[in-house]
Structure 1
Amino acid sequence: MSEITDGKQVSYADLKDLKERMKLISEADPNQYHNELSLKRYLKAFNTVDAAFQAILKTNKWRNEYQVATLNEDNIIVKKHLENNKARVLRHRDMIGRPVIYIPARNHNVNDRSIDELTKFIVYCLEEACKKCFEEVVDNLCIVFDLKDFGLNCMDYQMIKNLIWLLSRHYPERLGVCLVLNAPGLFSGCWAVIKGWLDENTSSKVVFVSTEEELCKYLIPDILPQDM
């Protein structure tokens, strides 16, 4: 038997097998954070029990080495980027209840940033958004890139690569939709590059929104910040 989630099947036998393997991790590390829904996401993303289990081990190792637990509002790096309005996890959700990460491109300058610090801030945003998920109902996120006042100095290919890597390796199946608002014509060349890095499934989740009517299919425009 299997359970169909987001068009993908998760075998009950595979889930049972992965749970048994996870018991060994839980005994060694009682604080490991994977629950049954997390295991299903890894199975959907990595297809086999062996691949999912190895991916979980890598994520656990990364979380410890990267000190993910220290990335909170009191962290000096996080605090700086919040004050500079680099991104924000919104109080309100999208139309189907997904937490929303809002990223205003105009507040970003590729020539004036530390990629290591920025990546830590991205992880903070992903962590905060994931905590807001109603996991039993919807366990994925809405990421909004607002390209109003976008210039080529705002285009940070390495940051986008890092975000794609994080979502694929350590936050699998967490991206529900990525909305791109107010994209100017010059962004078309940037998108051609970025699209080449995405698999077909992820690429299909990227939606370009050019009107308020289109935006209302995904979220209420009034929830987007006016102070960033």
Structure 2
Amino acid sequence: MSTGLKKSSLNDGEKILTSEEQQAKINEVRRLIGQLPQKLSIYCSDASIARYLSARNWNVKKATKMLKDTLKWRSDYKPEEIRWEDIAHEAETGKIYRSNYIDKHGRTVLIMRPSRQNSKSTRGQIRYLVYCMENAILNLPPDQEQMVWLIDFEGFNMSHISVKVTRETARVLQDHYPERLGVAILYNPPKFFEPFFTVHIS
């Protein structure tokens, strides 16, 4: 059985703004961010800023802080400099990889297989996740900001979960990749996932 978790275009309680109001808030965030080096300015397109605003219910102050934190993280962590040879050992079992197909909207599909975890290194696992996220984003078409996750739980059990890695994964994705997930398809998910999601059975 597969379960589809759809990311709504509107978060619960999210403000409904006109395109003019949205653009005004985008411009205000850009003004507050100020001038940036070229290598960081590419992460402050209108579409990128809109994702941060959406994640913070179009609150300019909160979205600006969130984006500034991401820009600092990018300067320190340098995700664009992670190379295949740096994370190849994490990829050996195929626990996360970008599919060679896209969905009907042209979105990149990331395949995740938690049961194939082969590492106890939190640092290594997070670097590999970031590498895969960056690669998926680079392969999105110009008109898309979101991707699809297909999570295959075949063979999964609780021994594959690290609380520390799970917590750090959630932090990185929520803080630095807001509104990137369009839909998550869970194949054969464990029962304990069910209370946490509003699901659509496909």
Q: TM-score, normalised by structure 1?
A: 0.72
Deviation at 1:166, TM superposition (A): 1.9
> What residue is the counterpart of 1:69 in the other structure?
80
Deviations 1:53-86 (A, max 9, x none): 11111001111211212212132xx111122322
Alignment of 1:189-200 (within 5 A): 189=192, 191=193, 195=196
Deviation at 1:192, TM superposition (A): 6.0
Aligned-partner Cα distance in 2 for 1:20–1:106: 45
Counterpart residue type for residue 47 of structure 2: L
Aligned-partner Cα distance in 2 for 1:87–1:192: 22
Answer 1 or 2: higher relative contact order, Cα 8 Å, separation at least 6.
Answer: 2
Contact persistence 2:115–2:154 (CA under 8 A): yes
User: How high is the sequence identity, in percent, across the aligned residues?
Assistant: 21
Contact persistence 2:93–2:117 (CA under 8 A): no
Contact persistence 2:51–2:179 (CA under 8 A): yes
Aligned alpha-carbon RMSD (Å): 2.3
Q: Which runs of 5+ in 1 are unaligned?
A: 196-202, 215-228
Aligned counterpart for 2:51 among listed residues 35, 41, 52: 41
Alignment of 1:2-41 (within 5 A): 6-7=9-10, 9=16, 11-22=22-33, 24-26=34-36, 29-32=37-40, 33-34=42-43, 35-41=45-51
Deviation at 1:120, TM superposition (A): 0.9
Q: 1:71 to 1:31 in 2, by over 3 A?
A: same
> What residue is the counterpart of 1:84 in the other structure?
93
Contact persistence 2:113–2:153 (CA under 8 A): yes
SS of the counterpart of 2:38?
Answer: coil
Aligned residues: 184
SS of the counterpart of 1:88?
Answer: strand
Alignment of 1:51-66 (within 5 A): 51-66=62-77
Contact persistence 1:167–1:173 (CA under 8 A): no
Q: Which runs of 5+ in 2 are unaligned?
A: 1-7
> What residue is the counterpart of 2:3 in the other structure?
none
Aligned counterpart for 2:113 among listed residues 90, 101, 104: 104
